[in-house]
Structure 1
Amino acid sequence: MPSFALVSYRSFPIAAALALIFIVPDASAASKREAVAALNARMAAAEKRYRDALVKIGNNDQTGVSESNAALEDMEDVVDACGKQKGCQTTDLMAVYKRLLKSNADAQGPAADEDEDPNEPDPDHAGDVGIAADVPEAAKAASLLDDKRHRFDQMVQYNPAVQAGIRRWLTDLRGPLMDSYENYQYMRQQMWPSYERAGLPEALLFGIMAKESNGKVHVTSRAGAAGPMQFMYATGLRFGLGQDGTGFDTRYDPHAVAEASAAYLNERMGELNRSIEMALAAYNGGEGRALRIYNGSEGRGFWDASVYNQFPAETRDYVPMVIAAAWLFLHPKKYGITFPKVESKPAPLRLSQPTSIYELTICLGNGGTRDGFMRALRNLNPRYQPESYLPAGASLNATTQIVGLYNRHCAQGPRAALAKQLVLSDPNSAIVRTGPMQTLPPSDGVVPAPLTGAAAPTDPVAIKPKKKPGTHKVAKSETLVSIAQKYQCDTKSLAKANGLKAPRYALKAGQRLKLEGCQ
């Protein structure tokens, strides 16, 4: 018995130690889990605080900025504490930042669309590479937020003039707004990187383009401005635009004008205290006027009456309309807008047979779009007129969708043949021309003798075809391409023979063209 007791008491510390080995880690793990849970709760509270601050900012509540700063500082503290806490995954906390950037990744459930805070980043753009959403610069945690999309919101004033512009875009100009968005999506890869490199918001690019041209590359104004960003010729020359070695005016090139526009705006903003409104006023009303007004007003902003009233009515309308279009680009869901989804992935289109953009537009069909692909092809290939025939082997800028439709319907087949027939049809051939009517003598049952001499009718077989004209007088509605088709000429050769420059080939009614090289 004593021996048994001795063994038992000596064995107890060992058993207790073994028990502690299994018990203590459980308690320690529970403590870690509680600490991590507490950090997650703090991050969730900071996120809610930040979202509430955005609502205040959207409602012009001045306390919103300080609240958002404080919320971001809380987030930074939580991330720092997480790095020191064993078992805490900083990647989990970074999901909060992702939710601020990608509303479509938010864990609020399917009903979030109806209840979503309209001042939060919109899913329409949040997933795009290089697009930005803003956080106050004072917050060090802003370095974790690489999306600065909504920085534009804090760079401009949202006021009744802008609201009136939004009303116009949503009513009478809703169609042009949608067209502008769709056209921009096709050109985005050519234009947006220039603004991104220049540190300018994408919304600003869209707003200017929507107001200037609705995203139509070949637009020209009565004053002489041209292209999607409407550069005047002299201003364009200062920023590298104008006639290139082929005679093409690069004011019509989306990539070139985006580069020039970004450089122009940054130059203006450097002179005008980084004011987007004043830079836009210079863009429309003249940089000399804007700088003179700015210096004379001791640096006051565009909305100050002493500044605003010195600009012409066109400029006073232009500035809020650009800002309004940009605002809708960033906040479509707030205003009930669903922008069209555009399959715009770029791809080269290599032609297997001669064709024109007109012919391609017909044979491609709609492809699920509302208006088909003529505008997209024209915008992506500004050097070519829609009627000009392009040789087999030529390469066009296009999209993967267009290339797929081309291979299916345009390379060969009935739709390709139909498109060619429609494009080459000549309306003049539908007109039937007859000679003057002849009055026959009354019939008395006697067959008249055949006429001889000068009165004898001419044998149709003996009529010699008229010699092809050496010149053509331009009618009011004719284009160079229609004339080339009529006489079976090469459009470029005909243009060269008559000193006409691409891409417009401008003709005047009554002008005489040399038909060199025509059949």
Structure 2
Amino acid sequence: MINFSSMFFRYYYLFLPILLLTISCATTGKQASQSISDNAYSTLSNQSDSYYSGHVLGQSEASAEQYFVREDRTGYYLLDPDDQTWKAHYYFFRIRDHIYEDLVDQLPTTDQEIPIVLNDKVQKYINFYQNRGRKTFTRWLERSGKFIPMMTEILKKKDLPSDLVYLSMIESGFNVKARSPMGAVGPWQFIRGTGRKYGLKIDGWVDERMNPEKSTIAAANYLSDLYEMFESWELAAAGYNAGEHRVQRAIDKYNHDDFWEMSRTRKALPRETREYVPKIVAALVVVKNPEKYGFTEIDYHKPQSYEVAIVPPQKSLKDIARVINTDYKSLRDLNPSLIRNATPPGSDYLLKVPDGYGKVVSEKQTELYALKKYNAPMYVTYRVKRGDTLGGIARKYRSSVSSIKRTNKLRGSLIRIGQKLRIPTKYTGSSYASKSSSSKSSSYRASSKPSP
């Protein structure tokens, strides 16, 4: 859905110079003693960001003085008709061509594409990416090279705008192992329920929210449903962030079906969602011309290249890497959804292996099947009670203090009442093949109140 308000202002600022030029060329009588100077024209022609700030000639008088020389007369003169006409034409058409160049990049070409609305909120995040957020945005750009080709291909197959890949940039910075405090996981930050709804396997061995290809397919299907519901990519993105039901309630309550109008009402949407869409639009503006915004010499990561091979169940990736003589880290990085760094129990598994190793896996099947079964540690969740110690908790669950500290990234042995700990316990995997439960974790709530 095209934002007609933003379209109006884009074309308004495009044709405003034409109108001013026409009026000034028709001006007769006493000419101004001095019209726009050569330096002012040069300044105007180099204002590459003027379109983005929403102004070309319509600046305040304080800002406009850099373009015009004001005379104590009844009007302002853009040019001196006697000797400046052709120079004015030359600079005018340079400005016009530059504006056209930006418009071609920024305007949506079909109703299916994401509109670029340039307002104060979007400009705020453009400035943030250029300044305080430069290091972070640079890392995002570097990671993007690894995933965008694959993500774009999936989106195009679903007839979705390729620019939707930048939702993943804002969600996770293209970090496949990203985790939020709310339990969202992976490059597209699916929560458990939504991930499963869109076909992602999530259990104690595999979390496909961290599988770049499968999570992108799930995100594409979800975004397609959201667009069908709202007929607006801004609202679809808002629904992706806040949930479709929250957005629909806001539409019904405030009688707005335009995100930018709705975002002016603070209570309509959560603050995070009101900022989420401007972040995406600002990222789109920057990534389409990163050099213009100072992002030069970006070391883009190379796309992942791999083969898929059948390997036996419940085998450690370290053991598999040793048998096929490849690097364990490379094998692990190709398979981030294997949360135990081992293939799941039950049946053979399609494992990603480095290019050229598919044949090796086929030749090493006997050795791979002979590998020792991987008995993964399972976890229970325990809430610390008054009087608890790490040693006592470890004895209770037949674990060890060192493994509890390592699992919970504890530097010392100090724990506090109400603190949640993940306690590793041994698990043979024998029950997994018969019933694929999520993670068999139990929760123990403290009887005493947590300390403040």
C-alpha RMSD of the superposition: 5.1
* Partner residue in 1 for 2:285: 327
For residues 32-56 of structure 1, give each alpha carbon's deviation from its aligned partner in whole angstroms, at most 9, with x where no partner exists.
xxxxxxxxxxxxxxxxxxxxxxxx9
**Alignment partner for residue 234 of structure 1, among 182, 190, 193?**
193
Task: Using the TM superposition, give the Cα deviation of residue 317 of structure 1 relative to its aligned residue in structure 2, in angstroms.
Answer: 1.7
The residue type equivalent to 2:12 in the other structure is Q
Aligned to 2:244: 287
Kindly tell me: are residues 277 and 133 of structure 1, through their superposed partners in 2, closer, same or farther at Cα, counting changes over 3 Å? closer
Report how far residue 283 of structure 1 moved.
Answer: 1.3
Matched residues in 1 for 2:354 and 2:211: separation? 17
Alignment of 1:39-78 (within 5 A): 60-62=10-12, 64=14
* 2:184 maps to 1:225: yes
Aligned residue number for residue 154 of structure 2: 194
Alignment counterpart, residue 171 of structure 1, candidates 110, 113, 131: 131
Letter in 2 for 1:187: F
Unmatched segments (≥5 aa) in structure 2: 1-5, 18-96, 310-315, 361-396, 409-423, 444-452
Please identify which structure carries the higher helix content. Answer: 1
Secondary structure at the aligned position of 2:307 is classed as strand
| Residue from 152, 163, 176 that aligns with 1:203 | 163
- Kindly, what percent of the aligned residue pairs are identical? 23
Alignment partner, residue 9 of structure 1: none
- Describe the shift of the 1:306–1:347 C-alpha distance in structure 2 as closer, same or farther (beyond 3 A): closer
Structure 2 SS opposite 1:165: helix
Other-structure match for 1:48: none
Q: What is the deviation of 1:135?
A: 7.0
Pair 1:262 & 2:220 matched:
yes
Query: 1:477 is matched with which residue?
Result: 405
- Mapped to 2, the partners of 1:219 and 1:340 lie a distance apart of 21
Q: Which residue of 2 aligns with 1:159?
A: 119
Cα 1:238–1:65 shift into 2, 3 Å = farther
Please say if 1:185 is aligned against 2:145: yes
Bigger Rg, which one? 1
Deviation at 1:497, TM superposition (A): 7.3
Task: Rate the CA distance shift 1:135–1:316 in 2: closer, same or farther, 3 A.
Answer: closer
Q: Is the 8 A contact 2:205 2:340 kept in 1?
A: no
Change (3 A) 1:243 1:189: same
* 1:344 counterpart letter in structure 2: P
CA displacement at 1:262 relative to structure 2: 1.6
* Distance in structure 2 (CA, Å) of the matches to 1:218 and 1:505: 22
CA shift for structure 1 position 229 = 0.7
**How many angstroms does 1:387 deviate by?**
6.4
Q: Which amino acid aligns with 2:132?
A: D
| Aligned equivalent of 1:445 | none
- Report the 3-state secondary structure (helix = DSSP H, G, I; strand = E; otherwise coil) of the residue aligned with 2:260: coil
Structure 1 partner of 2:335: 381
Q: Is the 8 A contact 1:247 1:502 kept in 2?
A: no
Higher relative contact order (CA 8 A, sep 6+): 2
Matched, 1:301 2:225: no
CA separation of 1:296 and 1:493: change in aligned 2, threshold 3 A: closer
CA deviations over 1:462-515 (Å, ceiling 9, x no partner): xxxxxxxx95424443359xxxxxxxxxx998563798x99999999xxxxxxx
Q: Work out the CA distance in 1 between the residues paired with 2:133 and 2:438.
A: 29
1:212 aligned partner, one-letter code:
E
Name the aligned partner's letter for residue 138 of structure 2: M
Q: Distance in 2 between matches of 1:505 and 1:118?
A: 60
Q: Which amino acid aligns with 1:201?
A: P
Q: Give distance in 1, aligned partners of 2:141 and 2:441.
A: 30
- Answer whether contact 1:192 1:202 (CA < 8 A) is retained: yes
- CA distance in 2 between partners of 1:189 and 1:495 (Å): 40
Distance 2:299 2:8 in 1: 26
> Aligned partners of 2:124 and 2:318: how far apart in 1?
42
The one-letter code of the counterpart of 2:287 is: F
Q: 2:202 is aligned with what amino acid?
A: Q
For residue 186 of structure 1, what is the amino acid of its counterpart? K
Of 400, 414, 429, which residue of structure 2 is paired with 1:496?
429
Q: Deviations over 1:259-284 (max 9, x none)?
A: 22122222222222x22221121111
Look up the SS of the partner of 1:348 in the other structure. strand
Matched positions, count: 292
Give unpaired runs (5+ residues) of structure 1: 1-55, 68-115, 127-131, 139-147, 366-372, 408-469, 481-490, 509-519
